[in-house]
Amino acid sequence: MSKIPVMEIFGPTIQGEGMVIGQKTMFVRTAGCDYSCSWCDSSFTWDGSGKDLIKQMEAEEIWEELKRLGGDGFSFVTISGGNPALLKNLSYFVTLLKENNIQIGLETQGSKWQDWFLDIDQLTISPKPPSSGMDTNFEVLDRIIGRLSPSKTSLKVVVFDDKDYVYAKQVHLRYPDILFYLQVGNDDSKTINTASLVHHLLKKYEWLIDKTIEDPELKNIRVLPQLHTLIWGNKRGV
Ligand SMILES: C[S@@+](CC[C@H](N)C(=O)[O-])C[C@H]1O[C@@H](n2cnc3c(N)ncnc32)[C@H](O)[C@@H]1O
Ligand SMILES: Nc1nc2[nH]cc(C(=O)O)c2c(=O)[nH]1
Ligand code: SF4
Ligand SMILES: [Mg+2]
């Protein structure tokens, strides 16, 4: 008996962010976070507003639900949250996925280590810039990144403003051997007006691209939007 607090299970969809953008995947979103980013687009995982949706599930039950939703039409599962790295017992679920030949992605902010990180195929660490209101503990981050294989790891920093950009650059220059993504920040993650949101986010994407192009210090870097937001807006469960 080792239950995992699950907020939502959805898919198949595509990974909208980062190193495997476009990858067909299922999602498992766990509840609870040690951060409280001002602009978190998944704040229902930690701010109490989604508490009635939380289900305590065994690894086997999550796997059954994934198969119910995705049939045998998937080979990739992305674990996000909240912060899944709060959950030591996700190791059982990770092992179960591996036994079934499923590739695994993980989204986490780099504040906590778990030994099961070593079994993740695509691990995205997303340290938080000043606009989030959170502080990065770089000693913890150094230790986490030091234990991971660079070929399976990427860094992704969300940028809302110039200060965030400076922070992102600092992170990239600290870990130059880790694949690095700048991601457009969605500053209107509640609106249901997808057309105006998409227009606005594309403008912000252009702004971020322009800054990167003009910056000789950022060489080996990738700039991406949240692809799922451009397609589905702020809709949940996609
Ligand atoms: C909701 S978080 C969950 C995983 C983990 N807590 C983390 O932050 O990495 C998943 C990804 O969404 C990003 N994100 C959250 N809110 C966002 C927003 N308003 N605009 C752009 N990206 C956002 C986070 O930075 C993170 O990379
Ligand atoms: N399609 C899609 N791609 C995503 N990539 C990261 C997500 C997340 O919320 O962690 C996410 C999400 O919620 N949906
Ligand atoms: S760390 Fe991730 S889940 Fe937690 S508040 Fe920040 S963006 Fe949201
Ligand atoms: Mg998201």
Query: pLDDT digit string (tens) for 65-124?
Result: 999 999 999 999 999 999 999 999 999 999 999 999 999 999 999 999 999 999 999 999
The average confidence (pLDDT) of the chain is 98
For residues 35-60, give the mean pLDDT. 98
CA 107 to chain centre: 3
- pLDDT over 70 at 132, yes or no: yes
Residue 175 within any structural domain of the chain: yes
Residue 210 within any structural domain of the chain: yes
Rounded distance, CA 26 to CA 12, Å?
5
Domain that holds residue 102: 4-232
Contacts of 218 (CB under 8 A, 6+ apart): 169, 172, 212
Structure-block tokens of residue 12: 């198949």
Residue 112 within any structural domain of the chain: yes
Residue 195 within any structural domain of the chain: yes
Residue 238 within any structural domain of the chain: no
Cβ(114)–Cβ(91) below 8 Å:
yes
Q: What distance in angstroms lies between residue 216's CA and the mean position of ligand 4's atoms?
A: 30
Alpha-helical runs (H) found in the chain: 59-70, 90-99, 138-147, 162-174, 194-213, 227-232
Structure-block tokens of residue 229: 């937001």
The preferred substitution site among 78, 106, 126 for testing ligand 2, maximizing ligand atoms within 8 Å of CB, is 78
Total domain count, the chain: 1
CATH number of the domain that residue 223 is part of: 3.20.20.70
Residue 237 within any structural domain of the chain: no
Q: What distance in angstroms lies between residue 41's CA and the mean position of ligand 4's atoms?
A: 6
Ligand 3, residue 42: give the atom nearest the CA.
Answer: 8
- pLDDT over 80 at 1, yes or no: no
